[in-house]
């Protein structure tokens, strides 16, 4: 699928698969064309009695609905949208049949020459640029925290019995915590969003290799999902690839930067975005 808005041109493909062992697919993805680029997301739901499926679907549909209703600079708009979605999910999770419901969510807004990335949980966003694959998000999980503390290696984390325990989820608490960052885009960039059914099975080097070999965005997601299934497909698998063919100008707002050692309260992330232009002139 080609998205061409203004001077930004994107090639996009999304594929979600149940995997080899799960009865249901509790992942959900979003690829929405916007005037300045697009809104993209991957969510991986959790909770018994089909609550995981409900959570990821609510998150993705709610993100699309609220983001389109809101205005303002993209970083602020995205955070405010996720706050509303978090509130809806948290309220739904109070129902007895939805107990334990929540979802990861990684969202990327391509806004002309920039990408704004928000992350809750352990679904990931990667950047392939110049033949090198880098992480745009950091996992909110128990094993990731142990890695950051130097207590586990990456290989140990991959096989640890608590590797699927996440430390932050959309809808799990009234106060939303998330990571927010921005990226200046270049023509030729590839942005991959995926659930841990992909990143937990394929190592980064293999993901990078398959992305570079694929002739198209659609070919890449098909190959990535097939490889995860070939290696056992122990979880639902979702891959969303955005290939940046041309970019517009960089937006006027400053790009957010990752702060702290983990997810931050949304109110803390919104504070600098709400400053008025004249605030810098009057400091007391």
Helix H, strand E, coil C: the string for the chain is: CEEEECCEEEEEEEEEECCCCCCCCCEEEEEEEECCEEEEEEEEEECCCCHHHHHHHHHHHHHHHHHHHCCCCHHHHHHHHHHHHHHHHHHHCCCHHHCCCEEEEEEEEEECCEEEEEEECCCEEEEEECCEEEECCCCCEHHHHHHHCCCCCHHHHHHCCCCCCECCCECCCCCCEEEEEEEECCCCCEEEEECHHHHCCCCHHHHHHHHHHCCCHHHHHHHHHHHHHHCCCCCCEEEEEEEEEECCCCCCCCCCCCCCCCCEEHHHHHHHHCCCHHHHHCCC
Residue 96, pLDDT above cutoff 60:
yes
Residue 4's pLDDT band (boundaries 50, 70, 90)?
Answer: low
Q: Which residues contact 112 (CB under 8 A, 6 or more apart)?
A: 6, 7, 8, 36, 37, 247, 248, 249, 250, 251
In the structure, what pLDDT confidence band is assigned to residue 277 with cuts at 50, 70 and 90? very low
Residue 1 has pLDDT above 80, yes or no: no
- CA 30 – CA 240 distance, rounded (Å): 8
Does the structure show a pLDDT above 90 at 275? no
Does 282 reside within a domain? no
- Does residue 197 form part of some domain? yes
> Degrees (nearest 5) of the Cα angle 2, 37, 9?
40
- Judge whether 225 and 198 are in contact, CB under 8 Å: yes
- How many percent of the chain have pLDDT more than 90? 75
| 168 domain-assigned | yes
The pTM of the full predicted model, rounded to 2 decimals, is 0.90
Residue 284 within any structural domain of the chain: no
CATH code where residue 255 lies = 3.60.40.10
Q: At how many degrees (to 10) do helices 204-213 and 217-230 cross?
A: 140
Confidence of residue 113 (pLDDT cuts 50, 70, 90): very high
Q: Does the residue 9 lie in any domain?
A: yes
Residue 199 lies in a domain: yes
Residue 171 forms part of a structural domain? yes
Domain interval for residue 99: 2-274
Structure token digits, residue 84: 């509303």
Res 276: pLDDT: 43
Q: Is the pLDDT of residue 155 over 50?
A: yes
> Domain count of the chain?
1
Q: Is residue 216 a part of any domain in this protein?
A: yes
Contacts of 168 (CB under 8 A, 6+ apart): 120, 121, 140, 177, 178, 262, 263
pLDDT digits (tens, 9 = 90+) for 28-84: 999 999 999 999 999 999 976 568 999 999 999 999 999 999 999 999 999 999 999
Crossing angle of helices 266-273 and 74-92, in 10° steps, is: 160
Q: What is the pLDDT of residue 22?
A: 93
The neighbour count for residue 260, using CB atoms within 10 Å, is 8
Q: What is the mean pLDDT of the chain?
A: 90
pLDDT value for 50: 67
> Could you tell me the pLDDT band of residue 163, with boundaries at 50, 70 and 90?
low
């Amino acid at each position: 699928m080609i998205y061409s808005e203004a001077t930004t041109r994107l090639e996009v493909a999304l594929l979600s698969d149940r995997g080899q062992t799960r009865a249901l697919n509790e992942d959900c993805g979003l690829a929405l064309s916007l005037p300045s680029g697009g809104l993209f997301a991957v969510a991986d739901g959790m909770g018994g009695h089909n609550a995981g499926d409900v959570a990821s679907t609510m998150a993705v549909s709610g993100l699309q609905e609220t983001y389109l209703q809101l205005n303002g600079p993209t970083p602020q708009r995205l955070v405010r949208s996720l706050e509303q979605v978090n509130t809806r999910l948290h309220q739904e999770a109070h129902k007895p049949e939805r107990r334990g419901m929540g979802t990861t969510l990684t969202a990327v807004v391509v806004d002309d020459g920039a990408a704004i990335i928000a992350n809750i949980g352990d679904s990931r966003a990667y950047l392939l640029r110049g033949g090198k694959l880098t992480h745009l998000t950091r996992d909110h999980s128990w094993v990731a925290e142990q890695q950051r503390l130097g207590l586990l290696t990456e290989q140990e984390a991959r096989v640890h019995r608590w590797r699927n325990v996440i430390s932050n989820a959309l809808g799990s608490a009234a106060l939303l915590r998330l990571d927010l960052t921005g990226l200046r885009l270049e023509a030729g960039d590839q942005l991959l969003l995926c659930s841990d059914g992909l990143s937990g099975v394929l190592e980064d080097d293999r993901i990078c290799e398959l992305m570079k070999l694929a002739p198209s965005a659609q070919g890449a997601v098909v190959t990535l999902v097939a490889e995860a299934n070939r290696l056992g497909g122990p979880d639902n698998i979702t891959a969303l690839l955005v290939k940046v063919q041309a970019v517009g100008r960089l937006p006027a707002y400053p790009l957010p930067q990752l702060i702290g050692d983990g997810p931050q309260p949304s109110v803390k992330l919104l504070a600098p975005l709400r400053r008025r232009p004249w605030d810098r002139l009057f400091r007391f």
